[in-house]
């Protein structure tokens, strides 16, 4: 089946620690002399023991679907580097072993995000039209539908209320959108009985309605309030023609995922990132193979409840027959 292999690097040095995100990532240099964003599963309050697993499998799925994501790496942090600078562990909570890292995007545009966060802290309003303008003139607007469908597949609800989880890279005068931060996919970054129960609900006869209701939560029965970022990007999704719409190709790709692909992808994840490898692979695989059949129906529900301004009504048509897959 092939596909993109996650590269492996050794951390050579820490350049800076970033102040955003609960996991407080760091900018590091790898032994390939490239810069990466290095993540830790340890927070001030908790140990997010399946965040790296979430990031790793989401990266493999994103690459298969053509979702724009920074290149990922499995980054080894040697104890010798920690011994030379103990703050790496005692202050910033990076430990010896394998961490999830992603390439630092060149020409990353952050001014709008910084200004938005400052305005929010000061209690000042920030106009949605500013966010709309931020996502204008991107060269890969067609990828927005891929990102939305991908988020539905992996149960990622952290995207549209978190203004930092979509980034614009401006390289060679071309502005391109990227999706980042998938550690909270699959109903959370911590392997607990409640997370497992939530994942297994995909087998419930009422699951599809319950999942749609979860998306609708706090939106008064409509989906036009899914977050500032969602409102800024949804008009790049074209549903005006129900026979030829933006989600057709990516949903076909999603529905083509099978158990052999998943086994290959999960086997590429380091053993150290699993809590209970066999059990986790089985539970995640079963969820993905069930959830892939729900995505087209969830998109239809989102459209019906007002998520997409380009939707004119009617039942969306699709260009392939669903297959059930096997676990």
Q: Which helix (H) or strand (E) holds 174?
A: strand 174-179
Q: Which residues of 119-151 are buried (b: 16+ CB within 10 A; e: fewer)?
A: eeeeeeebeeeebeebbeebeebebbbbbbbbb
Q: What is the mean pLDDT of residues 297-318?
A: 94
Q: 50-59, 212-221, 273-282, 292-301: lowest mean pLDDT where?
A: 212-221
Of 124 and 299, the one with more pLDDT: 299
The DSSP-derived string for 117-163 is HHHHHTT----HHHHHHHTTTBTTGGGHHHHHHHHHHHT--SSSS-T
Using a pLDDT cut of 90, give the percent of the chain over it.
65
Share of the chain above pLDDT 70, in %: 83
- Backbone phi, psi, residue 183, to 5°: -65, -20
Residue 79's φ and ψ, nearest 5 degrees, are -60, -30
pLDDT averaged over every residue in the chain = 87
The first and second tokens of residue 308, run together, are 């997409």
CA distance 10 to 74: 8
| Residue 263: predicted pLDDT | 98
> What SS3 class is residue 236?
helix
Let me know how long the chain is. Answer: 327
Which two structure tokens, joined as six digits, stand for 104? Answer: 């630092």
Between 217 and 39, the higher pLDDT residue = 39
Average pLDDT over residues 295-324: 88
| Range of lowest pLDDT (66-75, 166-175, 261-270) | 166-175
For tokens 């066999």, the residue is 278
Least confident residue range of 197-211, 248-262, 270-284: 197-211
3-state class (DSSP) for residue 30: strand
What integer pLDDT is reported at residue 327 of this predicted model?
42
Whether the CB-CB separation of 70 and 102 falls below 8 Å is answered with: yes
The C-alpha atoms of residue 75 and residue 79 are separated, in whole angstroms, by 13
Q: Where are the alpha helices (DSSP H) in 225-322?
A: 228-233, 248-255, 259-267, 277-291, 295-304
Locate 286 and state its tokens: 């079963």
Enumerate the H helices of the chain as residue ranges: 51-65, 79-84, 87-90, 111-121, 128-134, 144-154, 193-200, 207-216, 228-233, 248-255, 259-267, 277-291, 295-304
- The reported pLDDT for the residue numbered 213 is 80
Give how far the C-alpha of residue 21 lies from the chain's centroid of Cα atoms, to the nearest Å. Answer: 14
The per-residue pLDDT for range 6-19, each reduced to its tens digit, is 999 999 999 999 87
Residue 134 is predicted with a pLDDT of 78
- The band of 321, judged by pLDDT with boundaries at 50, 70 and 90, is low
Q: How far apart are CA 75 and CA 31, in angstroms?
A: 10
Lowest mean pLDDT across 32-46, 104-118, 155-169: 104-118
- Residues 43-71 have a mean pLDDT of 93
Q: How many other C-beta atoms are found inside a 10 Å radius of the C-beta of residue 228? A: 18
Q: Which residue has the tokens 């999704």?
A: 237
Please, which residues bridge with residue 30 across strands?
Answer: 11
Local confidence band at 218 (pLDDT 50, 70, 90 cut-offs): very low
């Amino acid at each position: 089946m092939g596909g993109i292999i996650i590269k492996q690097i050794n951390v050579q040095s820490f350049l800076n620690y970033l102040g955003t995100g609960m996991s407080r990532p760091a900018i590091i240099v790898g032994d390939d002399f490239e810069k990466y964003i290095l993540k830790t599963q340890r927070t001030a309050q908790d140990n997010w023991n399946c965040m790296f697993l979430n990031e790793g499998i989401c990266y493999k799925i994103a690459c298969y679907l053509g979702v724009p994501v920074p290149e990922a790496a499995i980054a080894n942090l040697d104890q010798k580097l920690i011994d030379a600078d103990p703050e790496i562990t005692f202050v910033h909570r990076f430990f010896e072993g394998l961490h999830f890292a992603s390439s630092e995007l060149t020409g990353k545009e952050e001014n709008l995000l910084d200004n938005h966060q400052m305005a929010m802290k000061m209690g000042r309003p920030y106009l949605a039209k500013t966010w709309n303008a931020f996502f204008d003139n991107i060269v890969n607007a067609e990828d927005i539908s891929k990102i939305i469908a991908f988020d539905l597949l992996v149960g990622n609800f952290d995207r549209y209320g978190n203004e930092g989880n979509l980034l614009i890279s401006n390289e060679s005068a071309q502005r391109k959108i990227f999706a980042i931060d998938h550690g909270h996919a699959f109903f959370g970054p911590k392997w607990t009985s409640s997370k497992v129960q939530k994942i297994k609900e995909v087998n419930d006869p009422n699951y599809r309605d319950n999942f749609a209701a979860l998306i609708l939560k706090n939106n008064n029965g409509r989906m036009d309030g899914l977050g500032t970022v969602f409102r800024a990007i949804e008009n790049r999704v074209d549903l005006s023609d129900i026979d030829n719409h933006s989600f057709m190709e990516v949903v076909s790709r999603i529905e083509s995922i099978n158990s052999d692909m998943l086994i290959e992808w999960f086997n590429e994840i380091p053993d150290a990132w699993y809590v209970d490898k066999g059990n986790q692979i089985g539970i995640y695989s079963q969820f993905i193979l069930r959830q892939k059949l729900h995505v087209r129906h969830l998109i239809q529900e989102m459209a019906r409840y007002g998520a997409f301004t380009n939707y004119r009504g009617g039942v969306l048509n699709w260009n392939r027959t669903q297959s059930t897959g096997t676990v």
